[in-house]
Structure 1
Amino acid sequence: MPYTAQAPDRRESNEELKARIPGWGVDLDPADRPAFPQERFASEVTGAHWDFPERQPGAETRERSIEHRFVTPVFGTSAPLHGLSGAIRRFAYDKFSEGRAAHWLILIAGDRVDAAGSHLRSFFTLRPDNPVSETGVKAELTHGGFRSRFGRGRADNRHTWIDSILIAGPWVLAGVAAFSIVRRLAKR
């Protein structure tokens, strides 16, 4: 069982695993592991008085990978899932293993939906998003952005050409859509 001091029960013995998997068990001897003294459960040193921590309430509503039986005993709740992006993320956790690309691509799609929703919500506030200052376009012009890109071996030079399309593209498309809607309404 994860999150406890005792080692999990294995179906195969150490010898069977060594025979089947090349290199398995090279760190079984504590002398071969530099961190071995820290791996011991020493409650008198650490002050830990439990073997399995008390479970935090609210685990039923948290997302959990299908590889795990339950959520870790303590977990964060600073950004709970919400709306359409939350449904997309829940789908990724419910249907796909963390070892599959589909899991991560769906999570990225959920992030993009959440970002788009945040941008749309900002239009209904007194201070809508400012794409020029918040994306760093202004800093590129005033703080030597172009000068720092050449002759310094920066890794981000390969994708510089598409950055402006990805950053400004949605804003331009939203502007064109708004203009065409206003134009159609004006014709009526």
Structure 2
Amino acid sequence: MDTTQNDVVYTEHTDPTARRRQQGGRDTVNGWGADLDPANRPAYPKERTPPRLDHVHWDRPAEQPNRGVRVFHSNERPGMTPIYGTTVPPKKLSGMLRSFAFRFSENDMRHWLVLLMADRIDMGEGILEDLAHGHVPNFFAEMGGRAEWRYNRAGFVRKALIASAAVGLAIYFLRRSRDE
């Protein structure tokens, strides 16, 4: 389909640069090619004069005192960062796995896979700890069941059907193996 505007013929397959050339080139477009000349670039030079962090009252933040909690840090960097979190100290099997993971470099896949596994195990340990203290977790609410039902009903139904099928298959295979 061809349309005519200001005596220039546009087709569906005309690329945008060809259209600009037909309209008069770069010189007629305000700001076109501004980054070709470094003097016209707002981010050039990259260093600010004066620097942004001028008159800083410290060279490095004061180190956070360690209150006996084990804190893991990368084996690729010397020492600890000045500030770190200690709200969830490593414990039990997940803590042992985290300790094992930090023996590897951060560019090693084992480091990250073991940390992922430790997170899943930590979640299970938390559920068992809740049950040991007499608190039964409300999985439906904690996993966003109400919001899922309200805003993504089709996804909720699909997940429920898949979970029901998985549980049904598990029961079927357990009963079948017990009867044999």
- The TM-score with structure 1 as length reference comes to 0.53
Aligned to 1:133: 141
**Deviation at residue 112 of structure 1 after TM alignment:** 0.7
Where does the alignment leave 5 or more consecutive residues of structure 1 unmatched?
1-29, 150-159, 177-188
Aligned to 1:42: 54
**Deviation at residue 117 of structure 1 after TM alignment:** 0.5
Is 1:68 paired with 2:80?
Answer: no
Q: Determine which of 143, 146, 149 is the counterpart of 2:153.
A: 146
Q: Secondary structure at the match of 1:108?
A: helix
**Deviation at residue 57 of structure 1 after TM alignment:** 2.1
Is 1:89 paired with 2:98?
Answer: yes
Aligned to 1:54: 62
**Deviation at residue 105 of structure 1 after TM alignment:** 0.6
**Two-structure CA RMSD over aligned residues (Å):** 3.5
Aligned length: 123
> In 2, Cα distance between the equivalents of 1:78 and 1:53?
20
Q: Determine which of 107, 116, 131 is the counterpart of 2:124.
A: 116
Deviations 1:77-135 (A, max 9, x none): 22221221111111111x21111221111101110110001111121233311222322
Q: Determine which of 103, 113, 117 is the counterpart of 1:105.
A: 113
Q: Secondary structure at the match of 1:54?
A: coil
**Deviation at residue 53 of structure 1 after TM alignment:** 2.6
Q: 1:162 to 1:117 in 2, by over 3 A?
A: same
> In 1, Cα distance between the equivalents of 2:79 and 2:104?
16
- Letter aligned with residue 115 of structure 1: M
Q: 1:144 to 1:65 in 2, by over 3 A?
A: closer
- Letter aligned with residue 87 of structure 1: M
Q: 1:128 to 1:99 in 2, by over 3 A?
A: same
Where does the alignment leave 5 or more consecutive residues of structure 2 unmatched?
1-42, 175-180
Q: Give 1 or 2: higher helix fraction.
A: 1
Aligned to 1:32: 45
Q: Secondary structure at the match of 2:57?
A: coil
**Deviation at residue 163 of structure 1 after TM alignment:** 10
For the 8 Å contact 1:59–1:71, the answer to whether it is kept is no
**Deviation at residue 63 of structure 1 after TM alignment:** 0.5
Q: 1:57 to 1:140 in 2, by over 3 A?
A: closer
Percent identity, aligned pairs only, is: 30
Aligned to 1:77: 86
Note the 1:4-19 alignment, pairs <5 A.
none
- Which has the higher Rg, Structure 1 or Structure 2? 2
**Which deviates the most, 112-121 or 129-138?**
129-138
> In 1, Cα distance between the equivalents of 2:115 and 2:161?
21
